[in-house]
Chains A and B, each alone.
Chain A
């Protein structure tokens, strides 16, 4: 009996040590003297920084391209647009969001707007030595058109390589903002593309992906054969972590650029300074602009309270945006009056000053009288609505709560509710939701305000206006990008009709959230373009131009 137990214990400990050994080898074995190395790793990073050409940057966990570094699956050309460091793009956007050439030496569009012709440089090689030709460009775009699961390429009919340096894009409809798409699609090599491309990407861009520890980090090294200006920073390590872990990394001195949020902005970290970048990452709420009705699927569309245009106007000027930014963002934000503040197609007529008395007057003038509990009513309709926010987002929750407090002073009762995205879209047709938008393309205006031909109303919140639609259609069909900006502006407000305070105001824009980072002293981050929605890759768009003092 004794022997049995002893042998049993021996077997158990053997099994356990075997498994531990497996765990170790699976994680790449290291021998004893590398124990020393691990202790010095933290120092190693800072020592490398002493060599002044590597940086460690933290990003939200959602920034990790889980499907790999493949443009077809969201790398660069996904929900959050940014420059794909590993690959090159045909053009890029400048600091003030105009277009400049990158791989392309020239591009032009036909009269009818359906054909774009691009000529590319002929001195570019992929990091495996093969030349980059127009065939690779055509392959990339056709591949995206067929397989892209996170972006819309339905306007592309076919990309054809006319010769080694000329590509022709045949579109299904005129699309004046095609250059903005060209700015974010990284070119992949046709000869080295497979399903696993995303795991082992080969590109011609400024950096090579050296190592990817899924769920934790990715390491980039500068491409020595890059055709443009050599990157100043030779090694970039990106860590994917939650906000609090990101802060801890900065506290431990292990990250050079650590993303953070307003709630941590009061903290003082030795050796770091808080830097904020203005963004167009905006938050706004939709107010259904149609009377309540049921559509054929039984879904309620419209809201009897917010369909009153005076109510919407009152709400727009009844919200003190500065106070909101102070309360919720600790001052790290700017008021937003449209979805595209500060972008080239913004119409400054959107701006509306805070005036609580005027707001109350607007409500009283049309008959919204305060009832016994301080909440207004008119014709049996109560001045109340539900404001939803995505449960996972505490900033939007705080914004919603602030709206509640502010609108109470106007006599409007707002109830907040945390929802998941699975129900939010449907419910936003009849209730308000706190949305987050902001991209480097005017397409957002189209998606938010343009009437959808199937339903007769805009897609995300019921609203329709023929004049606004007309301007936007003209803008897209135009073949001069710069001239189209004016048309987009007219769509917002052309002097008599629009979506601003004087117009229909179906969406109330609250604020643009500054992107905050703790940056280690001595690191010079290059001038940033205005950051779009999404806190992740935008900051390293120009990491090749950063430097250490």
Chain B
């Protein structure tokens, strides 16, 4: 059985690697097709205005124009595999150092939002499912509808307006307090600056998982064994804990891991509104400024996260549900 498990796992891993390579090829092709001239996008108008032709040619070489795309891709791939992610053209430092800082900021935000939205969504979905048709169910469904129709950035704007501008109880941006030296920044400060962005992301991530959990819960509540449990006189909390919880946990977890992609997309918007220096903001600047190495690295890392999440979800499926294990690995 262990052998079956490992071969299946191995196959999945190879698939992930192939997909990541494909992602990098696609991202690279898209960037090279871009008609945007990085010179005009990055060198300011007045500076370009005072340059000579030789200067312009030197700059073009720097920004990677004039070499055949395939050669550039292979060169980049070779370096990337060895761990050298290249040098960011915009920030003029190694991509790894740029990403290291921003990744930590983003992770802080995304993990908080991911956990919160998962927990709250699960809770809301279960409550709605168990109390189907009642007022609380209707409220939760209506709330989910409104939430999924709300654009992420608008909710971020609203929260910024209410808490940052009107009530002035939370900071309006950045990830550390103004003017403080790095050694003076505490965990509490970081937390304070991350509250609004994390809250936005969490609120929005709730609807998907809540609705699905609700569906599953309703299915379970209509099943025979729950009927039998009710007949036996089990209270609703006991029904939930003994029967509902475990059965609904699995789909919920799978869904939550699949939601990593959505959280990343949301974080791009939220970071823009709150000027939070994370990966999302870096991706937008890299996109607007045609910074190929940085954008490629961010794409690959996010793809890794998404695929990794799916892989973990698959593995968890096997762990949590003994039927799957015994029935052979899917």
Task: Give the B-binding residues of A (Cβ under 8 A).
Answer: 1, 4-5, 8, 16, 19-20, 22-24, 26-28, 30, 34-35, 37-38, 41-42, 45, 56, 66-68, 73-74, 78-80, 148-154, 198-199, 211, 213-217, 219, 237, 239, 241-242, 244-245, 248-249, 252, 254-255, 420-422, 424-425, 435-439, 443-444, 447-448, 459-460, 533
- B residues bordering A, Cβ < 8 Å? 35-37, 40-41, 43-52, 54-55, 58-59, 62, 90-93, 100-101, 104-105, 107-108, 111, 115, 164-165, 168, 172-190, 246, 249, 275, 277, 316, 319-320, 322
Q: What chain A residues lie within 8 Å of B164 (beta carbons)?
A: 248
When C-beta atoms are compared, the residue in chain B nearest to A27 turns out to be: B185
Specify which chain A residues have a CB less than 8 angstroms from the CB of B58 in the assembled complex: 149
In the bound complex, do residue B246 and residue A41 qualify as a contact, i.e. CB atoms below 8 Å apart? no
Q: Once the chains bind, are B178 and A16 in contact (CB under 8 Å)? A: no
Interface of chain A, main secondary structure: mixed
Contact A4 B319 (CB under 8 A): yes
Given the contacts A79-B47, A216-B174, A422 and B59 also touching, CB distance less than 8 Å? no
Which of B59, B93, B100, B173 is close to A245, meaning CB atoms less than 8 Å apart?
Answer: B173
Known: A154-B52, A422-B40, A443-B50. A211 touches B181 (CB 8 A): yes
Contact call A78/B40, Cβ cutoff below 8 A? no
CA distance A79 to B49 in the complex (A): 9
User: Out of B47, B90, B104, which one reaches A150, CB within 8 Å?
Assistant: B47
Q: How far is the CA of A78 from the CA of B48 in the complex (A)?
A: 10
Q: Which residues of B contact A22 (CB under 8 A)?
A: 104
Kindly identify which residue among A1, A24, A420 contacts B187, using a CB–CB cutoff of 8 Å: A24
Bound CA span A56–B176, Å: 16
Given contacts A27-B190, A79-B47, A447-B50, 16 further A-B contacts (CB under 8 A): A1-B322, A8-B316, A24-B187, A35-B188, A38-B189, A80-B46, A149-B43, A149-B62, A150-B44, A213-B176, A219-B181, A242-B173, A255-B178, A255-B179, A437-B49, A443-B50
- Given known contacts A78-B47, A248-B172, A447-B50, A28 and B183 CB-to-CB distance under 8 angstroms: yes
Which one of A27, A422, A435, A459 contacts B37 once the chains associate, using CB atoms below 8 Å?
A422
Q: With A and B bound together, what is the CA distance between A374 and B309 in angstroms? A: 64
When the two chains form their complex, are residues B45 and A216 in contact, meaning their CB atoms are under 8 A apart?
A: no
CA distance A214 to B99 in the complex (A): 12
Contact A241 B173 (CB under 8 A): yes
Beta-carbon contact of B45 and A436 below 8 Å: yes
For A424, the chain B residues whose CB sits under 8 A away are 40
Residues B43 and A4 in contact, CB atoms below 8 Å apart: no
Chain B contacts for A216, CB-based, 8 A: 174-176, 277
Closest to B245 in A: A5
15 examples of A-B residue contacts, CB within 8 angstroms: A26-B100, A27-B104, A30-B184, A38-B185, A38-B186, A41-B177, A79-B43, A149-B43, A216-B174, A239-B178, A248-B172, A252-B168, A255-B178, A448-B49, A459-B49
Q: Give the distance in Å from the alpha carbon of A20 to the alpha carbon of B174 in the complex.
A: 18
Query: Assuming the A-B contacts A30-B184, A38-B180, A245-B174, are A154 and B55 also in contact, with contact meaning beta carbons closer than 8 angstroms in the complex?
Result: yes
Q: Is the CB of B183 within 8 A of A422?
A: no
User: How many angstroms from the CA of A507 to the CA of B134 in the assembled complex?
Assistant: 71
CA distance in complex: A154, B50 (Å): 11
